[in-house]
Structure 1
Amino acid sequence: PRCIGCSNCVLACPFGVPKYVADFDQMMKCDMCTDRTSEGYAPMCASVCPSEALWYGTSEEFHAHRRGSLVDGWLFGRQAVTTKVFAVVDDVAAGPIDVLSGEERGWLDDPFALEDGAR
């Protein structure tokens, strides 16, 4: 009921998941594979990602097996947004990440320590 069919999410999603459905004049979006996650499985995108760039689990599981900080707070100008999914960053200042500030962010090149195993 909140979707107004503006299609901004199509431009924002790097995975091409949202699709405009003209019959409904609304977007159809990712539901985090509720059929899979309700059965204890990871969403399909996370289960097939060969580099583990997409990962599914609790924050406790993340911190036990991964490195970096989980961020789900973003600033778009004066608008603060909290998301259901997290991004992994190397070093987080207090508060949400200001998307429009233009500052360089310390994104992790290897958040899952995949290169450490190759050494």
Structure 2
Amino acid sequence: MRKVLAYALVAVSMAFMLSACGAKLEGASSNIITGTVVSEEAGTITEIHAATLKALESLELPISYDKKDNLVAVLQTFTAEGDTIRITISYRTLDVSELRLFSEDKIDSFKMAGLLDEIRNQMSLI
């Protein structure tokens, strides 16, 4: 039940963030955003950090920065098109962390969603 509520919250927050960031949701137009996608995920900093590393490897995204302690982890990657994505994992409670994907570049919202989906997929394997 907790996971279902978390996914529902993420879906609503992503829809809000995408609309607030100026994403175009009309017809066949592209969904380009700049900004942040935020999600609260079940897991410790260490677990989500490990899942994020595996997700980046799975998606063949290079890691240009990676620092972690028990309160925060910060990673940076970039796409083949040169778009930079900063990933921050922050402590919330013993078993919940905030996952934040941020890009100053104009990036396709589906790429950000794909990265978030792959991190969640890797979390399910841990």
User: Comparing both structures, which one devotes a greater share of its residues to strand?
Assistant: 2
Pick 1 or 2: higher relative contact order, CA cutoff 8 A, min separation 6.
2
With structure 2 as the length reference, what TM-score do the two structures score? 0.24
With structure 1 as the length reference, what TM-score do the two structures score? 0.25
User: Comparing both structures, which one devotes a greater share of its residues to helix?
Assistant: 2
